[in-house]
Amino acid sequence: MKMYPCVCLDLDGTMYRGTDVVPFAAEFVRSLQSQGIQPFFITNNASKTPTQLVEKLHSFGIKTDEEHVVSSALATAYYVKTRYPNQQVFAIGGEGVQHALQAAHVSIVKENSDVVVMGLDRELNYDKLAQGCLEVARHREFVVTNGDKKFPTEVGMYPGNGALAKVIEHATGVEPTIIGKPFGYMLEMIQAMHDFAKEDMVIVGDNYDTDILAGIHFGIDTVHVNTGVSSTVEVQEKDLKPTYLLENLREWTLELSH
């Protein structure tokens, strides 16, 4: 495998699973950093702020800073700010979504909004979903941080934001605009902000339907690791295959050490 100046690493299922670090993930990051490469960590998880994501990575022995963390919440806030300037937003989502919108100086309201933004909300209830449906029905502008149907934890798969957003989609008939992977918006942000050529970029992830397809659609190399959502057997059956298939990141770490 060649050396990539820009390595984009997925988090859930690639770096950690819930409260457990993925074997060899921390060692791989340290191998990159020892060779002068500071990887980017990109995640569809919109529930946490960049500070919280950095702290979680640090707890696993993975050192980075907020400049190298890009979440779908941050990308969504940027999208809304530029696509819907001065519009009022009804937001469903945890601290990550609220923080990103506030940092982008987006006006957040509890009703009579112009746009609805939805990210994973661990305190989601029927009333929030019902209000979300009413707000989407007003202007039919529905932006979702990511379409993940599920995500891996230390005890198994939990329902993702995409599964929950389907409730509002089915109730209103409005198909949302999805910002996170498999769309390349976060990769595009990294490329634009740091002036990388696409041939210098690679995305590494466990989920074929998000991580790998994001890289394929954006036109960069991809690495699938067999540590999370999609098994190697499943990925080998796909028509569009990743550039590389690894059992885990130890295989790449050994190459980097040579």
Question: Catalytic residue numbers?
Answer: 10, 12
- Give 106's contacts (C-beta < 8 A, 6+ positions apart): 77, 80, 81, 89
Cβ–Cβ < 8 Å for 98, 91:
yes
Which of helix, strand or coil describes residue 166?
helix
Q: How far is CA 187 from the centre of its chain?
A: 10
Residues annotated in the binding site, as ranges? 10, 12, 181, 206
- Longest pairwise C-alpha distance within the chain: 60
Find residue 90's DSSP bridge partners. 116
With CA atoms as reference, report the closest residue to 39 among 20, 73, 78, 65: 65
Query: Binding site for substrate: residue ranges?
Result: 181
> Phi/psi of residue 110, each to 5°?
-95, -15
Residues 6+ apart with CB under 8 A from 132: 90, 92, 116, 118, 168
Q: Which amino acid is it at 15?
A: M
Binding residues for Mg(2+): 10, 12, 206
For the chain, helix, strand, coil in percent to 5 are: 40, 20, 40
